[in-house]
Amino acid sequence: MLLAKQLSRPILVFCDSTAPKQLRESCNVLALFVKSDLLCSVLPAVLLTAGISGCSSVLKLLNGLIWVTLHVLVCVIIGVEEDRLVKPDRPIASGRITLDNAIHLHRGIVVVLLFFSARRHTLPLSTVYVLGTTVYNDGHLSRFWALKSIMTGFGIMMCSWGAAVCFACEIGHPSTMLMPHRFMPKISVTESGISKLDAEHSLSYYRPESPDGPWVL
């Protein structure tokens, strides 16, 4: 009985404290970050790649979904300029969290992402993605509207590739990022169409009344 009380104490402390509220708030913040990219980035990358690769495992599908979501979060959390201009409901622009807290959150997500990728043999792919998105955000390249579609195409391509590896691999088994080579050409063709369709998404950044000029991104 004493052992049971000792083991249950952390759970009781968690329930009696503000931890559940903070956890819900953290989940809500993450959801707000990824909400607008769910339909145009996350689900297309996961579902199309799953369909092309013939993935029939729920576990692999879940792994691919988590992999893509983490990578999208890494890109959007510190996209401050873009949020300020056209996505004021996101946590930083709306004042739900400070920029310093967002930076700490971004670093934490990067650590989780790299660990998750290392377990699924996609660490080189994730490293290239993190470096690319960091240069895009920290270099304020979002000011150049022409780079938006290029960055979107890059992101969807990388996320689809990573999801394909998740669908083709077993966790903990030797693998390579080139395993899904037999259906990568099909994915490339599909993603070309998505990039063209996503150009419409870039048009949402047209702001003729902006003091910086009509094209602010």
Indicate whether 12 belongs to any domain: no
Confidence at residue 65, expressed as pLDDT on a 0 to 100 scale: 87
Indicate whether 165 belongs to any domain: yes
Indicate whether 215 belongs to any domain: no
User: Which phi-psi region, left, alpha or beta, contains residue 173 (left: φ > 0; alpha: ψ -120 to 50)?
Assistant: beta
The pTM of this model reads 0.68
Per the structure, the count of domains in the chain is 1
Q: The domain that contains 119 carries what CATH number?
A: 1.10.357
Indicate whether 142 belongs to any domain: yes
State the residue range of the domain holding 63: 39-205
Indicate whether 20 belongs to any domain: no
Indicate whether 107 belongs to any domain: yes
Indicate whether 122 belongs to any domain: yes
Tens of pLDDT, residue by residue over 159-212, are: 888 888 888 765 444 455 555 555 555 565 566 556 555 554 555 454 545 555
Indicate whether 13 belongs to any domain: no
Confidence at residue 187, expressed as pLDDT on a 0 to 100 scale: 61
